[in-house]
Structure 1
Amino acid sequence: LMKYLKIENHKGHFIKDKRNPTVWTEIDQIDKDDLLNLLDIATKEDFELDDYDETILGNKAHQIIYKHIAEKFKTFLNNKNRFKDEADNLFKEALEKYQ
């Protein structure tokens, strides 16, 4: 598993560019494109993130941002197979209908 969200030095971080996984960006710098990129990675690959822990995140902005992002990604990862199955079934039904 590759970690894409982490808490380190009392701040939240994310990998902005998967091709350069040693460079971490502070979570308060995340934008819509970064979120979409992370979601795309989580959809296709194994995706790991540190659990939210308010006691080790000292920066209040990082607490808020990291908490919300981590919750959404945890929910997605816990339901990833169900989402994939539902999407596959919808695609299969559409193919059968229009063939």
Structure 2
Amino acid sequence: MKYLRINGNNGEFLNKESQYKLIDKIDKEDLLFLIDSAVEKEDFEIDPYDSEKIKNPAHQIIYENIYKKFDELLKNKNQLKDQVDNLYKDAFEKYSKSE
């Protein structure tokens, strides 16, 4: 499913109500929803940034910056999950042995 897309010369994002909104309307709750979705969902997709397809200069800037961060997150997703799992695994083992 596309969570970040270019549609009709505009950047858009999918919100938690499953509605596409213009990228310049994004707020911190929307970003948290997108981050959670990127980490948890296997079907998380984003359209690559293309300045030729986005005509609104504000949308270009916002979309490009958000795209870069999510692209980096998706590339490092497995590594980040492994780090979190190991952190909790170590804590779990430490406290379960003390009982």
Instruction: Tell me if both proteins adopt one fold, taking TM over 0.5 as the criterion.
Output: yes
1:35 to 7, 11, 31: 31
Q: Is it true that 1:81 corresponds to 2:78 in the alignment?
A: yes
How many residue pairs get matched?
A: 95
Gaps of at least 5 residues in structure 2 are: none
1:64 to 55, 61, 64: 61
Work out which of the two has the higher radius of gyration on C-alpha atoms and give 1 or 2: 2
Structure 2 length normalisation: TM-score? 0.91
Deviations 1:5-60 (A, max 9, x none): 1001111001112x53xx31000000000000011111110210100001111101
Cα RMSD after superposing both structures: 1.0
Gaps of at least 5 residues in structure 1 are: none
Structure 1 length normalisation: TM-score? 0.91
